[in-house]
């Protein structure tokens, strides 16, 4: 007897097909009544005998292999590079936590952004500040949302950011493509088809998020956008709105900006001392090899003009693969970065910010009662600074903050009272102009930076840079998505 292969044998009925297989000595492996067929194991001799039989309307098919289409999806690497993928295996996926993304919208008809792994809607609501409309309406539930009427992402940046945070796509490796694949999203469109927007729209969007916080359980606000500071942070209207969101109990994660590597290039609203500001690291095309990681050359650097250390930490932000509409402005302008699965590659502190927002969602699933200050403390305490072989910091605290975000150590950390010490948000919300730069803030006690590494030696930050005097504040009011197209 020769080696048997698997086939599908079809006839006028299941019974006729089964009898034909048995008559030539083959083995029936199962019924396929829906197509009047059976599965069969046949060797070459049996196959030829079956083909030569006089059974009417007999058809024989090779049992061709198939696999789930999602298994073709590419590995994104960054969830593993920040230690999130192992948490997913234990059920820590951000389930029940909502991240509000203020950006250019979201392409919610895309499968990995349409439903979570739990078959619940990913996108709970979309609000278009520019056109003052919402989807779903207040009379609809998210499950009833008609995605054909979704608010389009004409630019592509918002979809990319949302995908990094919460894509439920599964790569060929079996890993989720997003950092918090079980989390929920609320998309607030404040940027137009070119990625630009106005202070007014962004502030209005933040106001909408604060108002709808309880309705959608919004715990995190992702701001992958920014502009050069136009006044001291306490006097800037966008910064004021961000402080109001933080005061309302929402964890605000903001991009540092892409104006580095020079010092004092942190964008607003990342210059607000209370919030979590994120710089960017690239794996330099060596995934999962931390010794190859580098601070991205474009990543904005502190201190702020008021003298605060920024960014607080860094996330993966170089050549980040995520979804984006294939007919959006970004895809049309940079076709070389469009992938075969509606994916797109971008670099920037925007992307790094989304990675950190995803980590915050994981933290809040496990510890839902953490305050924004407590989240910030554990993020910073759990971060891993880049060090040289001699054990000294490879980058200054003004470049990497406390280091690369680590999801496991942030989720299961227990640090307390290590962020925003010496800062009084209530006083800051008065905006009375009486603030003295740097007053009321103890550098060494306010944060536990870099796990005990010495960060001030060898780096002059207060001398050599004119950081508070002689600076003419800009008067512009345009904000943009802080991504760049170059791939470091």
Please provide the CATH number assigned to the domain covering 71-484.
3.40.50.200
DSSP state of 41: E
Q: Among this protein's residues, is 122 annotated catalytic?
A: no
Active-site hit among 103, 152, 201, 283: 103
Write out the chain's pLDDT in tens, 488 residues: 678 888 889 999 999 999 999 999 999 988 887 778 888 999 999 999 999 998 998 999 887 554 333 346 889 999 999 999 999 999 999 999 999 999 999 987 777 888 999 999 999 999 998 887 666 544 445 444 443 344 578 899 999 999 999 999 999 899 999 999 999 999 999 888 888 888 888 888 999 999 999 999 999 999 999 888 888 988 888 888 899 999 999 999 999 999 988 999 999 999 999 999 999 999 999 999 998 999 999 999 999 988 899 999 999 999 999 998 888 888 889 888 888 888 889 999 999 999 999 999 999 999 999 999 999 999 999 999 998 888 788 899 999 999 999 999 999 999 988 888 877 765 444 333 323 333 323 233 333 343 444 333 333 333 232 233 223 333 334 555 655 433 33
Catalytic residue among 104, 108, 152, 157: 157
Q: DSSP of 80-146, one letter per residue? A: HHTT-HHHHHTT-S-TT-EEEEEES---TTSHHHHB-TTSSBSEEEEEETTTTEEES-TTS-GGG--
DSSP state of 338: B
Query: What is the rounded distance in angstroms from the CA atom of residue 378 to the CA atom of residue 393?
Result: 20
- Domain borders along the chain are 5-62, 71-484
350 annotated active-site: yes
Determine the distance from the C-alpha atom of residue 53 to the mean position of all C-alpha atoms in its chain, rounded to a whole number: 60
In angstroms, the CA 361 to CA 381 distance is 17
Q: How far is Cα 73 from Cα 175, in angstroms, rounded to an integer?
A: 10
Q: Which fold has domain 5-62?
A: Alpha-Beta Plaits (3.30.70)
8-state DSSP, 336: G
Which H or E run includes 208? helix 199-211
Known catalytic membership, residue 408: no
Alpha carbons 155 and 133: distance in angstroms, whole number: 18
The per-residue pLDDT for 137 is 47
Task: Establish whether the linkage from the previous residue to 24 is cis, with ω within 30° of 0.
Answer: no
Beta bridge partners of 268: 227
Residue partners of 375: CB distance under 8 A and separation at least 6: 251, 276, 360, 363, 364
Burial (CB count within 10 angstroms: exposed 0-12, middle 13-18, buried 19+), residue 2: exposed
Q: Which two tokens stand for residue 76?
A: 């994104």
Residues with Cβ within 8 Å of residue 131, at least 6 apart in sequence: 189
Distances (CA, A) of 299 to 348, 388, 389: 7, 20, 23
CA 309 vs. chain centroid, Å, equals 24
- Specify burial of residue 289 (Cβ count, 10 A radius: 0-12, 13-18, 19+): exposed
User: CA–CA separation, 375 vs 363, rounded Å?
Assistant: 8
Q: Tell me the whole-structure pTM to 2 decimals.
A: 0.77
Instruction: Give every CB contact of residue 55 below 8 A, 6+ residues apart in sequence.
Output: 11, 16, 20
First-to-last C-alpha distance (Å) of the chain: 60
Q: Which residues of 381-394 are buried (b: 16+ CB within 10 A; e: fewer)?
A: bbbbbbeeeeeebe
Best CA proximity match to 226, nearest among 258, 251, 252 = 258
Closest CA relative to residue 191, chosen from 157, 167, 148: 157
- Report pLDDT for 328: 87
Angle between helices 237-247 and 199-211 (to 10 degrees): 10
With both helix axes pointing from N to C terminus, report the angle between 349-366 and 372-382 in degrees, rounded to the nearest 10. 110
List C-alpha distances in Å: 477 to 160, 163, 201, 229, 239: 24, 28, 11, 9, 12
HSE at residue 313, side-chain half, CA atoms within 13 A, is 38
State the catalytic residue, choosing from 350, 357, 381, 402: 350
């Amino acid at each position: 007897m020769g080696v048997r292969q698997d086939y599908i044998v079809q006839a006028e009925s299941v019974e006729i097909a089964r009898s034909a297989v048995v008559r030539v000595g083959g083995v029936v492996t199962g019924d396929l009544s829906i197509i009047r067929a059976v599965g069969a194991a046949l060797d070459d001799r049996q196959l030829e005998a079956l083909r030569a039989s006089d059974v009417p309307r007999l058809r024989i098919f090779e049992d061709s292999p198939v696999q789930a289409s999602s298994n073709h999806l590419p590995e994104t690497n960054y969830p593993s590079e920040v230690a999130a993928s192992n948490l997913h295996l234990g059920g820590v996926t951000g389930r029940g936590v909502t991240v509000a993304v203020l950006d250019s919208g979201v392409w919610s008809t895309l499968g990995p952004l349409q439903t979570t792994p739990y078959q619940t809607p990913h996108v709970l609501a979309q609000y278009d500040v520019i056109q003052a409309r919402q989807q779903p309406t207040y009379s609809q539930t998210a499950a009833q949302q008609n995605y054909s009427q979704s608010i389009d992402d004409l630019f592509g940046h918002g979809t990319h950011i949302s995908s990094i945070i919460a894509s439920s796509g599964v790569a060929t490796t079996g890993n989720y493509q997003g950092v918090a694949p079980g989390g929920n999203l609320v998309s607030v469109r404040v940027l137009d088809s070119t990625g630009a927007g106005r202070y007014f729209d962004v502030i209005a969007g933040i106001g909408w998020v604060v108002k709808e916080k309880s309705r959608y359980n919004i715990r995190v606000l992702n701001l992958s956008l920014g502009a050069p500071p136009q006044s001291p942070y306490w006097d800037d209207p966008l910064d004021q709105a961000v402080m109001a969101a933080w005061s309302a109990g929402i964890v605000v994660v903001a991009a540092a900006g892409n104006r580095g590597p020079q010092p004092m290039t942190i964008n607003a609203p990342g210059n607000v001392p209370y919030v979590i500001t994120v710089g960017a690291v690239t794996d330099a095309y060596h995934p999962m090899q931390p010794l190859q990681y580098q601070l991205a050359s474009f990543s904005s650097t502190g201190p702020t003009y008021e003298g605060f250390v920024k960014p607080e930490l860094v996330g993966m932000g170089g050549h980040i693969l995520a979804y984006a509409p294939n007919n959006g402005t970004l895809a049309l302008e940079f076709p070389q970065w469009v992938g075969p699965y509606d994916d797109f590659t971008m670099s920037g502190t925007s992307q790094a910010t989304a990675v950190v927002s995803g980590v915050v969602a994981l933290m809040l699933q496990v510890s839902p009662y953490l305050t924004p200050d407590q989240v910030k403390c554990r993020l910073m305490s759990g971060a891993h600074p880049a060090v040289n072989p001699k054990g000294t910091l490879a980058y200054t605290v003004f470049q990497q903050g406390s280091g690369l975000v680590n999801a496991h150590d942030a989720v299961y950390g227990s640090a307390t009272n290590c962020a925003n010490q010496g800062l009084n948000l209530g006083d800051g919300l008065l905006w009375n102009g009486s603030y003295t730069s740097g007053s009321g803030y103890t550098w060494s006690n306010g944060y536990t930076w870099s796990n005990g590494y010495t960060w001030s030696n060898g780096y002059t930050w207060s001398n050599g840079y004119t950081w508070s005097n002689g600076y003419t504040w800009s008067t512009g009011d345009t904000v943009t998505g802080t991504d760049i197209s170059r791939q470091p």
